[in-house]
Amino acid sequence: MASFIVASRFNGPPRSGNGGYTAGLIAAASGETVAVRLHQPIPLDRELTLGERMGDRWEVRAGEDLIATARLSTVDIAVPEAPPYSEALIASTHYAGHKQHSLPSCFVCGTARKRHDGLCIFAGPIEGAPILAAPWIPDETLDNGTGKVRPEFLWAALDCPGYFATAYPTFALLGELTVHVDRLVHVDESCVVIAWSLGKDGRKHRAGTALFDEDGERCAVGVATWVEMKSN
């Protein structure tokens, strides 16, 4: 059994945790490659407990409330080639969230966040390719103590770009995320994040995301399901 807290800095919606970051904490606590399914908003500044493994799955609770489940999984998708960092910089200037953003305070993609506070990953379209891309230079607040970025922040980086690649502009929240980390990137390394659509089924949108280091080598890949919220 393990426990952790999602600090208020790491919000997605204003009063709940960012899904990718939280899923990364859960994965790190499990020590496995897992698919994390979110069952309800993630409470901030409250202890979450990862229960004992039950076969191939775990439950995450806040007190008696079931917050998330995790199950053993793999990521097996074809990953597009990443553009050069310079092209990702240009793409980020066309980030749709600069014009309209439902969650501007989001830790990962919020336009109200600044470097050293949020990740500021603003994925925009690459001309002539069916992907979005964003530049990302992780700062020292994400350091795992060895000069590399903690894995939960790689999960976070592979969260929101998938929304803009597949569900935007409808209002949708992360339902499930699986990430396989090949290796950690370094603090202050010039990275590129890409995202692309894997299709839609009703209110569910699937997206692929991937993170590349400054040499263009893939370091992590993810698959997410985003769920459109029903209008009242």
The enclosing domain of 31 has a CATH number of 3.10.129.10
- pLDDT of 232 > 70? The answer is no
Over residues 105-131, the mean pLDDT reads: 97
The pLDDT value recorded for residue 208 is: 98
CA distance 226 to 228: 7
Over residues 180-197, the mean pLDDT reads: 98
Instruction: State the amino acid at position 2 in one-letter form.
Output: A
For residue 82, how many C-alpha atoms fall within 13 Å in the half-sphere facing its CB? Answer: 28
Query: How many folded domains does the chain comprise?
Result: 2
Q: What are 213-228's pLDDT values in tens digits?
A: 999 999 999 999 999 9
Whether 134 and 213 share a structural domain: yes
Whether 125 and 50 share a structural domain: no
- Collapsed DSSP state (helix, strand, coil) of residue 109: coil
Cβ–Cβ < 8 Å for 191, 141:
no
The pLDDT value recorded for residue 211 is: 98
For residue 178, being part of any structural domain is answered with yes
Whether 58 and 151 share a structural domain: no
- pLDDT of 26 > 80? The answer is yes
Structural domain for 130, as ranges: 85-228
- pLDDT of 231 > 80? The answer is no
- pLDDT of 82 > 70? The answer is yes
For residue 78, being part of any structural domain is answered with no
- Collapsed DSSP state (helix, strand, coil) of residue 171: coil
For residue 223, being part of any structural domain is answered with yes
The pLDDT value recorded for residue 63 is: 96
Report the side by side order of strands in the sheet with 57-62: 2-5, 47-50, 57-62, 65-72, 34-38, 172-181, 218-228, 204-212, 191-201, 132-136, 124-125
The pLDDT value recorded for residue 225 is: 98
CA-based R_g, the chain, Å: 16
- pLDDT of 188 > 90? The answer is yes
For residue 80, being part of any structural domain is answered with no
Whether 118 and 172 share a structural domain: yes
Whether 109 and 167 share a structural domain: yes
Whether 193 and 115 share a structural domain: yes
Whether 119 and 190 share a structural domain: yes
Band (230; pLDDT cuts 50, 70, 90): confident
| Mean of all residue pLDDT scores within the chain | 97
Domain boundary among 72, 100, 130: 72
Q: What are 129-169's pLDDT values in tens digits?
A: 999 999 999 999 999 999 999 999 999 999 999 999 999 99
Whether 32 and 132 share a structural domain: no
The pLDDT value recorded for residue 31 is: 94
With a pLDDT cut of 90, the percent of the chain lying above it is: 98
| β partners of residue 134 | 193
The pLDDT value recorded for residue 46 is: 97
Domain boundary among 49, 72, 95: 72
Whether 11 and 91 share a structural domain: no
Backbone angles phi, psi at 192, to 5 degrees: -130, 135
For residue 107, being part of any structural domain is answered with yes
Whether 191 and 115 share a structural domain: yes
Whether 121 and 174 share a structural domain: yes
For residue 148, being part of any structural domain is answered with yes
CA distance 161 to 134: 8
